Amino acid sequence: MGLFDFFKKAPEPAGVPPFGGSSIPPKGGTPTSSKAEEQPAGLFAGLKRALKKTADLLNTDVRDLFKKEGRLVDEQFLTELFAILVKTDMGVGPASRIRDKIGSDYRARVVHMPDVLAVVKAELRELLAQPERPVNLAASGTTVILVVGVNGSGKTTSIAKLTQHFRSQGKRVVLGAADTFRAAAVDQLTIWADRLGAEIEKGPPGGDPASVAHKAVARAVETGAEICIVDTAGRLQTQTNLMQQLEKIYRVIAKQIPEAPHEVLLVLDATAGQNALSQAKGFSEAAKCTGIILAKLDGTAKGGVVIPIREQFAIPVKFVGLGEKATDIAVFRADEFIDALFADWK
Partner 1 sequence: MFESLQNRLQSAFKTLAGKAKLTEGNMRDALKLVETALLEADVSYDVVRDFIDKVSEKALGEKVLLALNPTQQVVAIVQDELTNLLGPVDPSLHLKKDLNIFMLCGLQGSGKTTTCGKLAKMLQDNNIKPYLAAADLQRPAAIEQLHVIGRQLGVPVYSELGATDPVKVCQDAVRKAKEEGAQVLILDTAGRLAIDAELMAQLQQIEKRVQPHQVMFVVDAMTGQDAVNSAKAFNEALELNGVIMTKLDGDTRGGALLSVKHVTGVPIKFIGVGEHLDALQPFRPEGMVGRILGMGDMLGLIDEVRKAVDVNQQAELEKKLAAGDFTLDDFKVQLKQVLQPGLMTRMMSMLPGMGDLSKMLANTDAEGEMGRKVAIIDSMTAKEKKTPKIIDQSRRNRIARGAGVQVQDVNQLVKEYDLMAPIMKSMAGKGMGGRMQAIQDLQKNLMSDPSGKMAKPKGDTGKRLSPKERMELKKKREKELRKKKREQRGQ
Task: Give yes or no for residue 302 binding partner 1 (CB under 8 A).
Answer: yes
Q: What is the DSSP letter of 300?
A: S
List the one residue from 77, 192, 283, 337 that touches partner 1 (CB under 8 A).
Answer: 192
Secondary structure of residue 280 in the 3-state scheme = helix
How far is CA 50 from its chain centroid?
42
Q: Does 89 bind partner 1 (CB under 8 A)?
A: yes
Phi, psi (deg, nearest 5) at residue 265: -100, 125
324 binds partner 1 (CB under 8 A): yes
Contact (CB, 8 A) for 345 and 114: yes
Stretch that binds partner 1, among 40-48, 131-139, 165-173, 301-309 (CB under 8 A): 301-309
- 219-258 mask for partner 1 (x: CB under 8 A)? -----------------xxxx-------------------
92 binds partner 1 (CB under 8 A): yes
* Separation CA 33–CA 49 (nearest Å): 24
Amino acid letter, residue 326: A
Rounded to an integer, what distance in angstroms lies between the CA atom of residue 177 and that of residue 194?
Answer: 13
The least distance separating partner 1 from the CB of residue 313, rounded to whole angstroms, comes to 16
Using CB under 8 A as the binding rule, the residues of this chain from 96 to 155 that contact partner 1 are 150-154
* 183 touching partner 1, by CB under 8 A: yes
The only residue of 1, 16, 86, 113 in contact with partner 1, by rule CB under 8 A: 86
Query: How far apart (Å, rounded) are the C-alpha atoms in residues 42 and 35?
Result: 10
Measured between alpha carbons, how far is residue 42 from residues 10, 15, 143 in Å? 10, 12, 72
Residues that bind partner 1 (CB under 8 A): 83, 86-89, 91-92, 150-154, 157, 181-185, 187-188, 190-192, 205, 236-239, 269-276, 278, 296, 298-302, 305, 324
